[in-house]
Amino acid sequence: MLDAILMSLTLSQQIDTAAAAVESRVIATRRDIHQHPELGNRETRTSKLVADRLRELKIEVRTPVAHTGVVGILKGGKPGGAVALRADMDALPVVEQVDVPFKSTVRTTYNGQEVGVMHACGHDAHVAILLGVAEVLAGMREQLPGTIVFLFQPAEEGAPEGEEGGAELMVKEGALDNPKVGAVFGLHVTSRFPVGEIAYRPGSMMAAVDSFVIKVHGRQTHGAYPWLGVDPIVVASQIVLGLQTIPSRQLDSSLAPSIVTVGAIHGGVRNNIIPDEVEMIGTIRSLDAKMREEIHSRIKRTAEEIAKSGGATADVAITTGYPITYNDPALTERMAPVLSRVAAGNAQVVNAVLGAEDFSFYQQKVPGLFFWVGTRPKNQTAEEAASNHSPKFFVDESGLLLGVRALANLAVEYLSGAR
């Protein structure tokens, strides 16, 4: 009887009806994964859960990809193109402080240190949502015009030291090939927006992220006689201040915001010894590709010249990280009505943010659209709600259904227009 009713509906109506039917399973899956979090490149239990569920749905499974990643391939009953949908699986080294029955008590070793583990960024919700999408679309496969590739990706938060991982490795190992996908869609739950809202932005939506190490070399001497040496601590302090003038005074901030942050300074062993060396580490965030290159060169020049002026020297090493999360403008414009429809008009264009996402590696290969799904309880303000990466981060599970409907509708809409 249900099959007959579904067949009389449009594809969008079928998706919404089927999504409502799987909502309780999506929530149960999310709670299971939340209670058993795993760090990047170590998502073995999560990976098995995903692969087993996809096989139950008679979806082709490829694993392992990028260590613990899973790729599912659902071939529709009608000819057409291919589209990819992505969910990230890894948790964070955070001790959970949310009082829920399925609270994580997991502990493990991270970079040689014992840590708690928590899904403090909502990746458990992402996996549960995408498994819900897989179930919805597998149930209507004969009507699908093309192929849907499900990307369950490890290590979005970064691979362990000395390992490759994440979206970059997924792409490298062919996750977007065979079949070659024409577009990729992804989402992220957030406490910045309440349940029922979707937020997105065409073009640069999230920042490129790079890291730097600056070593300032002075000359060690007694703290009472600084003129007999070169003080790298004072020079490093001047460099910190100089770096702040790069985004605030040297770049066109009306074009795009950027940030240069020094996160740690290490130097010296006691109060009366001026050391030989100081090391600084920090992060760079940028939303414009040309500006990104400019910041790199200006950091090097600023550190080296300030050091030189104080009689010291500075070695600057910059490591590139995730690219800019860039929503293809044409694809975004085409899909904006879908987001608006599934969110009942509560889809909004928002400002870019200086957080980063490795979804950007997929977008470098094919056009992509990444968007936020609100999971903040409606009785909380954004200021009251704990942010992603907080030990108190909380997901209102009533917001997961919108994620399922959004991804499933985007995939079908894209394939319907790609024929």
Q: Mind telling me the catalytic residues?
A: 322, 397
**Is residue 128 within 8 Å of residue 402, measured between CB atoms?**
no
> What backbone torsions phi and psi does residue 111 show, to the nearest 5 degrees?
50, 45
DSSP letter at 89 equals -
Going by C-beta distance under 8 Å and a sequence separation of 6 or more, which residues neighbour residue 161? Answer: 111
How far is C-alpha 233 from the chain's CA centre? 35
Report the alpha-carbon distance of residue 159 to residue 166 in Å, rounded. 7
27-32 CB contacts, 8 Å cutoff, 24+ apart: 27/128, 27/397, 27/400, 29/53, 29/127, 29/128, 29/131, 29/132, 30/124, 30/125, 30/127, 30/128, 30/395, 30/397, 30/400, 31/102, 32/102
Q: Is 272 helix (H, G, I), strand (E, B) or coil?
A: coil
Dihedral of alpha carbons 328, 406, 117, 166, sign: negative
Report the alpha-carbon distance of residue 57 to residue 134 in Å, rounded. 8
**Is residue 367 within 8 Å of residue 183, measured between CB atoms?**
yes
**Is residue 69 within 8 Å of residue 172, measured between CB atoms?**
no
In degrees, rounded to 5, the angle at the alpha carbon of residue 56 between the alpha carbons of residues 53 and 57 is: 95
Place of tokens 């990028």: 66
Which amino acid belongs to residue 92?
Answer: L
Does a cis peptide bond (omega within 30 degrees of 0) precede residue 64?
yes
Nearest residue to 119 (alpha-carbon basis) of 146, 100, 135: 100
Report the alpha-carbon distance of residue 414 to residue 349 in Å, rounded. 20
Place of tokens 């970059």: 168
